[in-house]
Chain A
Amino acid sequence: MEASPILDVRNLKVDIPLTDAVLHPVRGIDLTVARGETVAIVGESGCGKSLTALAIMGLLPRNARLTSERIALKGESLTSAGRKRWRQLRGDRIAMIFQDPMTALDPCYRIGDQMREILQQHRRVSNKEARQRSLELLGKVGIPSPEDRLSQFPHQLSGGLRQRVMIAMALLCEPELIIADEPTTALDVTIQAQILRLLRDIQRETGIGLVLITHDLGVVAGMADRIVVMYGGEVVEVGACDDVLARPLHPYTEGLMHSIPVPGETRQGQTLGFIPGVVPRQVGELTRCGFLERCPYAHAKCGAGPIALRDADVSDGDDRMMRCVLPADGSGRSPEAWVRDVEGA
Chain B
Amino acid sequence: MTNIEQTTAPSVALSPGRMTLHRALRHVSFWVGGTIVLAIILAAILAPAITSHDPAIQDLAQRYIPPVWTEKGSWDHVLGTDNLGRDYFARLLYGARISLLIGFMTVLISGAIGTALGVCAGYFGGWADMIINFVITIRLTLPVVLVALVVVALVGSSLTLLVMVIGLLLWDRFAIVVRSATQQLAHREYITSAAAIGSSTWRILFKEILPNITGPLIVVASIELAHAVLLEASLSFLGLGVQPPQVSWGLMVAEAKSQLLFRPWMIAVPGAALVLLIFAINLVGDAIRDVTTPEGKA
Contact = CB atoms under 8 A, between A and B. Distances in A.
A61 B13 CA distance: 7
Interface string A315-340: 00000000000000000000000000
A108 interface: no
Interface stretch (B14-22, B80-88, B106-114, B228-236): B14-22
A17 interface: yes
Contacts of A19: 15-17, 20
A203 B20 CA distance: 48
Given A19-B16, A61-B13, 6 more contacts: A17-B15, A17-B17, A18-B15, A19-B15, A61-B12, A62-B13
A169 to B, nearest CB: 25
Interface string A17-29: 1110000000000
Interface residues of B, number: 7
Contacts of B16: 18-19
A63 B12 CA distance: 8
The 4 A-B pairs with the shortest beta carbon distances in the complex, nearest first, are: A19-B17, A63-B15, A19-B16, A18-B16
Interface string A57-71: 000011100000000
Contacts of B13: 61-63
Contacts of A63: 12-15
B24 to A, nearest CB: 12
Interface of A: 17-19, 61-63
B297 to A, nearest CB: 19
A18 B17 contact: yes
Interface string B16-53: 11001000000000000000000000000000000000
16 contacts: A17-B15, A17-B17, A18-B15, A18-B16, A18-B17, A19-B15, A19-B16, A19-B17, A19-B20, A61-B12, A61-B13, A62-B13, A63-B12, A63-B13, A63-B14, A63-B15
Nearest to A63: B15
Interface of B: 12-17, 20
Most chain-B CB neighbours within 10 Å: which of A18, A19, A61? Answer: A19
B11 to A, nearest CB: 10
Contacts of A62: 13
A18 B12 CA distance: 11
Contacts of A18: 15-17
Nearest to A64: B12
Nearest to B21: A19
A17 B14 CA distance: 11
A19 B20 CA distance: 8
Nearest to A17: B15
A17 B15 CA distance: 8
A31 to B, nearest CB: 24
Most chain-A CB neighbours within 10 Å: which of B13, B16, B20? Answer: B16
A61 B15 CA distance: 10
Contacts of B15: 17-19, 63
Contacts of B12: 61, 63
B6 to A, nearest CB: 18
B7 to A, nearest CB: 16
B20 to A, nearest CB: 6
A18 B14 CA distance: 10
Contacts of B17: 17-19
A19 to B, nearest CB: 4
A63 B16 CA distance: 10
Contacts of B20: 19
Nearest to A62: B13
A18 to B, nearest CB: 5
B91 to A, nearest CB: 50
Most chain-B CB neighbours within 10 Å: which of A17, A62, A63? Answer: A63
A257 B149 CA distance: 76
